[in-house]
Amino acid sequence: MLQIAQVLLSKHVPSTTLHKLPAIILSGMEKKPHDPLKFAVIGCGRIGQRHIKHINSVGELSAIVDTDTNLLRMVAAGKNVEQFSSLQEFLFHAPEIDVVSICTPNSYHAAQSVACLQAGYHVVCEKPMALTLPDCHAMDLAAKAANKQLFIIKQNRYNVPVQHVKKMIDEGFLGRILSVQVNCFWNRDEQYYANSWKGSLDVDGGTLFTQFSHFIDLMLWLAGDIIEVQAFMENLHHKKLIEFEDTGVAIFKFANGALGGLHYTVNAYNKNMEGSITVMGEKGTIKVGGEYLNELEYQVLEDDQENLVSLGNKPIHFGSYQGNMSNHLLAYQNVVDVLNGDASITTSVSEAIKTIEVINKIYASAKYHYGRTDIS
């Protein structure tokens, strides 16, 4: 019994020990409900408000921060939250918060994440992680030095059809991956860029960062590391609106020998047209499409256990599901589960860094930097 008592007093109970403990002792080790995690949101714009909505489903929103005091008051209305008009003010008052969510413009992500990590908070950072590799590595080092978790939002990994493709690949139904094609045909008009940081090279960073970094992440998640990139880009239809490309094409060579392609644009007429990923394997082909990766459009497998071949090419819809819009709740549930010791992190920092590395390689290959010197 002394050995059992020592095990129970230890911080971690080895899994190999649990089956040896008497049932009466195991019954006393059932997990107790966790206290709700307390969150702060930095940046109360459209994406920040989406985070706030989902935080309230999994934890407790305790503070919000925005330099626009009118917006701050509007978002705070009806909520029992502390309000701060700057990150500096928030850090000075050091409220009792567990997690800080960074929902500010792209170029602010790195410095604000590092500041919050160094202040002792876990951090959830919206995509993109940062605009440069040095900034990404600074965030990673700050998290490790503070012994805090750094979560990078990659909500499209939770898309139902994307999860299906990942399962098919991981379980070998497609065999060796031969090639991957990503198409991103969206619309971003003058109204989208008006009176906004979006479109600014220094703050936005480029179309791949703001619109399509999720697709780069999924391509890497499904097909593995990229070792070679060639790309072309132009600003064909937004010359008076943005300081970078509105259209680009890139080709890739993967470490596993597969080839890949990316065609992206924000020039689709009037509305978003398509966001798709097609994977060609030696034993099957599968495509996830729709506007937001919300349809399984095509699947032909050598061993088709799902029996989707009988549906022909008819897309399989997933209700009102909107791929890149509806999964922040699942991302936040992962944050809570990880911090409570109930799950592993969905997207590691190293994976998020690889996305930024590939984006910078695409820009470097296209030689379309508009004078930027921070491409690694």
d(C-alpha 38, C-alpha 59), whole Å: 6
* 121 within domain boundaries: yes
* 75 within domain boundaries: yes
Q: Checking DSSP bridges between strand 295-301 and strand 259-265, what pairing results, if any?
A: unpaired
* 143 within domain boundaries: yes
pLDDT of residue 213: 97
Q: What is the mean pLDDT of residues 19-23?
A: 37
* 228 within domain boundaries: yes
Residue 81 sits in a domain of what CATH number?
3.40.50.720
Q: Return the residue matching tokens 């994307």.
A: 162
Domain that holds residue 125: 38-155
Task: Give yes or no: residues 100 and 61 share one domain.
Answer: yes
Q: Give whole-number Cα distances, 134 to 138, 140, 211, 218, 353, in Å.
A: 6, 10, 22, 22, 10
pLDDT of residue 209: 98
* 371 within domain boundaries: no
Domain boundary among 113, 134, 155: 155
- Residue 300 has phi, psi (to 5 degrees) of -135, 115
Out of 11-25, 144-158, 269-283, pick the least confident: 11-25
Quick check: 295 and 318 in contact, CB under 8 A? yes
pLDDT exceeds 50 at position 20? no
CA nearest 350: which of 95, 76, 150, 93? Answer: 150
pLDDT of residue 65: 98
Angle at 257 between CA 252 and CA 262, to 5 degrees: 20
Task: Give yes or no: residues 128 and 161 share one domain.
Answer: no
Task: Give yes or no: residues 127 and 138 share one domain.
Answer: yes
* 376 within domain boundaries: no
* 269 within domain boundaries: yes
pLDDT of residue 370: 46
More confident residue, 199 or 307: 199
Q: What is the pLDDT of residues 78-130, one digit of tens each?
A: 999 999 999 999 999 999 999 999 999 999 999 999 999 999 999 999 999 99
Task: Give yes or no: residues 205 and 107 share one domain.
Answer: no
Task: Give yes or no: residues 134 and 267 share one domain.
Answer: no
pLDDT exceeds 50 at position 75? yes
Task: Give yes or no: residues 310 and 165 share one domain.
Answer: yes
Task: Give yes or no: residues 57 and 194 share one domain.
Answer: no
Task: Give yes or no: residues 150 and 250 share one domain.
Answer: no
pLDDT of residue 305: 59
pLDDT confidence bin for 217, thresholds 50/70/90: very high
More confident residue, 296 or 324: 296
Domain boundary among 126, 155, 184: 155
Q: What is the mean pLDDT of residues 19-31?
A: 38
pLDDT exceeds 70 at position 311? no
pLDDT confidence bin for 343, thresholds 50/70/90: very high
Peptide bond into 128 cis (omega under 30): yes
> Exposure pattern of 78-95 as b/e (b: 16+ CB <10 Å)?
eeebebbeebeebbeeee
Task: Give yes or no: residues 151 and 50 share one domain.
Answer: yes
pLDDT of residue 339: 97
Tally the residues of the chain. Answer: 376
pLDDT confidence bin for 274, thresholds 50/70/90: very high
Say whether 312 sits in a helix, a strand or coil. Answer: coil
> What is the number of structural domains in the chain?
2
pLDDT of residue 321: 36
Q: What is the mean pLDDT of residues 174-192?
A: 97
pLDDT of residue 63: 98
Task: Give yes or no: residues 121 and 227 share one domain.
Answer: no
Task: Give yes or no: residues 291 and 167 share one domain.
Answer: yes
Q: Return the residue matching tokens 């969150």.
A: 39
pLDDT confidence bin for 303, thresholds 50/70/90: confident
pLDDT of residue 239: 93
Out of 172-186, 203-217, 288-302, pick the least confident: 288-302
> Exposure pattern of 236-257 as b/e (b: 16+ CB <10 Å)?
eebeebbbbbbbbbbebebeee
Q: What is the pLDDT of residues 40-52, one digit of tens each?
A: 999 999 999 999 9
Question: How many CB atoms lie under 10 A from the CB of residue 341?
Answer: 9
pLDDT of residue 269: 97
pTM to 2 decimal places:
0.85
CA nearest 128: which of 180, 61, 203, 65? Answer: 203
Task: Give yes or no: residues 77 and 176 share one domain.
Answer: no
d(C-alpha 142, C-alpha 350), whole Å: 14
Q: What is the pLDDT of residues 318-338, one digit of tens each?
A: 444 344 446 899 999 999 999
* 311 within domain boundaries: yes
Which string of DSSP letters, residue by residue, matches 160-191? Answer: HHHHHHHHHHHTTTT-SEEEEEEEEE-B--HH
Q: Give whole-number Cα distances, 72 to 21, 43, 126, 258, 305, in Å.
A: 53, 9, 19, 48, 52
pLDDT of residue 34: 82
Token duo for residue 323 = 């791929």
Domain boundary among 132, 155, 178: 155
Task: Give the full edge-to-edge strand order of the sheet including 316-317.
Answer: 226-234, 247-254, 259-265, 177-185, 274-281, 284-289, 295-301, 316-317
Residue 268 sits in a domain of what CATH number?
3.30.360.10
On average, the pLDDT of the chain sits at 87
